[in-house]
Amino acid sequence: MGRVHNEKPGVITVEGDGGEVRWSSEFPPVNLLPEADWIDTSLSVAFPDFSKFVNYSHNRWYNPPSWPGTGPWRPSTSQDTCVSLTMIEPENRVLGPTTIGTIPAGANYIDVRVRLNRTKSPYTFRDQGVPPLIPNEWVSLPGGSCLVEATEIWRRSFDIVLSGNEVQLVRRQSVIDPGPVSAQQPGSPQDNGRLPLSGAGGDPWGQSSYQGWGWISGSTFAGSYRKGHPAALIQHKPPSANGGLGGDTPQYGGKHPRRFNACSINNSAHDFSSTYTGQIVIRPGYIRT
């Protein structure tokens, strides 16, 4: 059974049946104000989409003729394939604060309880749904903090804080930094833009046979290494012939980002924003400091 003791000089402690501390004079007591001083209101916690860009992979195989010469019967073959991906850039963003309400002057403690439902889900991350970490039921938030989403690369959370006599909402979202270019596996999507730049305008695909990634602006290869994480597939086109016997083999292959059979680079469907809506109850009080 529980017990009350003062084994520590000058400290009164109340323990439960399992020895857990139920109350101690070492802890400052809290005096909550009556219900008329509570804040009971609706709450919306919205997280914006991440900063994104498009990565494009174009692989081409070209087999020149086995003997010298030119003309319409000079045999040559060419096949290529492409993949386009949405990439998420690293970030560490603090949003707010936004005022929820005010409590009586002099109050210096808030007890926070929320009930939230995710009403806008992020797009699937690498074909996997992103589950909410807060249940659609009343929960207490000691300290006012709540983690709502966590994936391999991002975290989203919010804090309910007291500033003066204002109760405020602060939202946070972060995407891990993938590290320097030296940390990326050669040939991976994160390794974008590191192929030798042999083509016109520094195009990494301007070779006869090649394989590589590059990030895209418009329909143009836009630069060297850019930090990001592969997040969602835009399109994949498997290998197919572009030419055959004769001189009609395209210079770059039809699936090059500037040619007629390129993979789509439209990632407008990949919206990773999310929103949680519901109710919040704030019980203010006084705590001895």
Which pLDDT score, from 0 to 100, does residue 37 have? 95
Pairwise CA distance, residues 186 & 191, whole Å: 6
Which pLDDT score, from 0 to 100, does residue 82 have? 85
Which pLDDT score, from 0 to 100, does residue 46 have? 98
- Nearest Cα residue to 215 out of 58, 76, 30, 4: 58
Backbone angles phi, psi at 223, to 5 degrees: 165, -175
Q: Which two tokens stand for residue 148?
A: 């709502």
Which pLDDT score, from 0 to 100, does residue 26 have? 72
Which pLDDT score, from 0 to 100, does residue 202 have? 44
CA-CA-CA-CA dihedral for 210, 216, 222, 228, to nearest 10: -100
**Residue 149 DSSP SS3:** strand
DSSP states of 221-255 as a string? E--S----EEEEEEEEEEEEES--BSS---SS-TT
Which pLDDT score, from 0 to 100, does residue 74 have? 53
Mean pLDDT per block of 10 residues along the chain (289 residues) reads 78 79 72 92 98 84 59 60 90 96 93 97 96 96 95 97 96 90 59 41 50 68 75 88 45 68 90 98 86
Tell me the pTM.
Answer: 0.77
Which pLDDT score, from 0 to 100, does residue 99 have? 97
Count other Cβ atoms within 10 Å, centred on residue 200: 7
What number of CA atoms fall less than 13 Å from residue 221's CA on the CB side?
25
